[in-house]
Structure 1
Amino acid sequence: MIDEVIGDFLEAVGAIDPLLRTLLAGIAMLLETSVLLGLVVPGDTIVIVAALAVEQWPWWLALIAAIVLGALAGESIGFAIGHWLGPRIDRWLARRWPRASARWRRTERYLARRGGPAIFLSRFLPVAHSLVPLIVGASAMPYRRFLAWTIPACLVWAGAYASAGWLAGGTYRELADRLHGAGYLLVAVLAAFILLVWLAKRIIARIEARHLRDEEQEQEQEGA
């Protein structure tokens, strides 16, 4: 049963023109890394689905390139918005959306304390990956320095997700005709990858948590 469902799904995704599929993944990443839209667009899911249908390594490389370019485009838009409108957005949030304003301040402190590494690590943290470019743009950090930290992060992220989907899809296609229940293997590969990503995010978030605390929290921590 699961083999039929997965086989039909991969056939449907594979029927989409590879170029269109690759472009859609890039657009999804542009939206996923954009301000606000990044909170609702499941870029990682779309990338994995696109990677599942990749059968040749040139398209795997093309997918990675599209993911990186899409992410950089979205983050660059966020940087530009922050550069031109950052102070206005900051004041508007303080008046209209106190909770979001508090998150803005928290991210500002994080960037001030960690600098470039915060930009790199934010690519792997929920919410932060769409907020950090905006706040960096509103700061004094040059665009070139921002790119110097975010490009490697985008490459690592794109390579990991595209490779996981490609490996899972390729393994299934190779074993589908010879192994009953090959679909379970595909699910297991993806589940293992998702678990590793979740663990990595938890570890990064825990390590970086002390840099996100405000001064009062730090004083309480020291006094405890």
Structure 2
Amino acid sequence: MSETLLAALPSLGLPVMSLVIALGALGVPMMPASLMLLVSGTLVAAGDLPLIGAALTALLTATFADNLGYALGRFSRGRFISQHNAGLNHAKALLYKRGGMAVFLTRWLLAPLGPPMNLVAGAAGMRWRRFFAWDLAGEIVWVTGYMTLGAGFAPFVPQISDMAGNLTALLACLTIAWFAWMLLRRNQRDRKR
């Protein structure tokens, strides 16, 4: 599913980017939100997406989804948070140790802990204004950092594409060779019996 959404980005643009970022921020598995920002940065550099529109869409979507996760944690008071969920336990420990800085860091540096952190911050009773301020600061770093990296890679997309094609061909050849070798070994064992 994520490959389909990435492929739709050049033609459908900002709505696809917004959908992937929102689902990723809400913790939906296999949603490549950071990869989406890299690709968006590349498309901005190529002139296929507007810079301001892409950056604001990413920032507003991520911040809205993070705050939705915070609200879920806040209003449920953590009732649906499992005690045995490793991601939530890591987020809880980080929040108690680092406070608002934990929210900031889980927006961009420790991104896999972002969705659990939203729930934990809400359930732990962190003040919304404090959460929002740290969240917004972290999302600004995430959006500008990843889109800038994507724009930096833009001149190299043809080479990366060629290398990926060559790598795919190499892997296909190695897979065929491995299957042929396994079949040959099996036939030799059968002859010995």
Output the TM-score relative to the length of structure 1. Answer: 0.61
In structure 2, the residue matched to 1:25 is 17
2:76 corresponds to which of 85, 100, 116: 85
Of residues 54-63 and 107-116 in structure 1, the stretch that sits farther from structure 2 once superposed is 54-63
Q: CA deviation at 1:162?
A: 1.2
In structure 2, the residue matched to 1:138 is 123
Distance 2:111 2:18 in 1: 19
Q: Does 1:52 align with 2:42?
A: yes
Distance 1:13 1:115 in 2: 36
Q: Does 1:63 align with 2:48?
A: no
Larger Rg: 2
Question: Do the aligned residues in 2 keep the contact of 1:86 with 1:135 (CA within 8 Å)?
Answer: no
The 1:51–1:58 alpha-carbon spacing in structure 2 relative to 1, beyond 3 Å, is closer
Q: Describe the superposition over 1:26-81 as per-residue Cα deviations: whole angstroms up to 9, x where unpaired.
A: 221111110x31x3211122222233222349812221111111111110110010
Distance 1:107 1:44 in 2: 19
Q: Does 1:167 align with 2:152?
A: yes
Q: CA deviation at 1:128?
A: 0.6
Question: Do the aligned residues in 1 keep the contact of 2:78 with 2:119 (CA within 8 Å)?
Answer: no
Output the TM-score relative to the length of structure 2. Answer: 0.70
Instruction: Please tell me the root mean square deviation across aligned C-alpha atoms, in Å.
Output: 2.7
In structure 1, the residue matched to 2:159 is 184
> How many residues end up aligned between the 2 structures?
155
Distance 1:127 1:86 in 2: 22
Distance 1:72 1:142 in 2: 16
In structure 1, the residue matched to 2:182 is none
Q: Describe the superposition over 1:144-196 as per-residue Cα deviations: whole angstroms up to 9, x where unpaired.
A: 11011111110111011112222322x25xxxxxxxxx7227889xxxxxxxx
- Code of the aligned partner of 1:75: D
Aligned pairs (5 A) from 1:53-132: 53-54=43-44, 55-56=46-47, 59-90=50-81, 93-94=82-83, 98=84, 100=85, 102-123=86-107, 124-132=109-117
Distance 2:120 2:69 in 1: 8
Q: Provide structure 2 residue ranges, at least 5 long, that are not aligned to the other structure.
A: 1-7, 164-193
In structure 2, the residue matched to 1:42 is 32
The 1:51–1:103 alpha-carbon spacing in structure 2 relative to 1, beyond 3 Å, is closer
Distance 1:109 1:44 in 2: 24
Q: Provide structure 1 residue ranges, at least 5 long, that are not aligned to the other structure.
A: 1-11, 173-181, 189-224
